[in-house]
Amino acid sequence: MSGLLICALRPEHHEQVIGKVDEWWGGRPMMAMLPKLFFTHFRDTSFAAEDDERCVGFLAGFSSQTNPAEAYVHFIGVDPAYRQRNVGRMLYEQFWKAVERRGARVVLGVTSPMNRASLAFHRKLGFAVVPSSHQKDGVYVHENYDGPGEDRVLLRREL
């Protein structure tokens, strides 16, 4: 991956990755949660990792319109062949700079309680788990957060 480049996310990146995200997420059905709008309307705060013009990782995130002191990361994914080489960290570093310039003081996100790799990765990057009244396997879980049966772990990192 000699020519790895972090750049702004573009609609063409969506075409490159949308057919792969379920595989990147270990077979979970993620595609419906990643419409092209995230690659079109949040380009100032969303980033791609390219190797030879091929998208091998992306972060889709934005500053909150409601509270400019908050930013939110919707999705981050890295091609399995490029993992554990700091691609995810580089994407987050660009995101933090971009949202900080827009006034963010904190980055928020959610992850599935079953996604222990995501939890470990986010903890390494300085995210804390937001406490709740319920724990699953030692982790605070917000039950039904995204709808019936859709529990989430809430993540938070101060900038």
Ligand X SMILES: CC(C)(COP(=O)(O)OP(=O)(O)OC[C@H]1O[C@@H](n2cnc3c(N)ncnc32)[C@H](O)[C@@H]1OP(=O)(O)O)[C@@H](O)C(=O)NCCC(=O)NCCS
Asked if 102 interacts with ligand X (CB under 6 A), we say no
Return the sign of the alpha-carbon dihedral for residues 131, 132, 136, 138.
positive
Q: How many CA atoms lie within 13 A of 76 on its CB side?
A: 30
| Complex with ligand X: residue 60 or 98, whichever CB lies closer | 60
Among 10, 85, 102, 156, binds ligand X (CB under 6 A): 85
DSSP-assigned letters across all residues of 92-121? HHHHHHHHHHTT--EEEEEE-TT-HHHHHH
Among 75, 100, 113, 143, binds ligand X (CB under 6 A): 75
Asked if 69 interacts with ligand X (CB under 6 A), we say no
- Dmax over CA atoms of the chain, in Å, equals 47
Among 60, 71, 78, 108, binds ligand X (CB under 6 A): 78
> Using CB under 6 A as the criterion, which residues of the chain lie in contact with ligand X when the complex forms?
24-25, 75-78, 83-89, 111, 115, 117-118, 120-121, 124
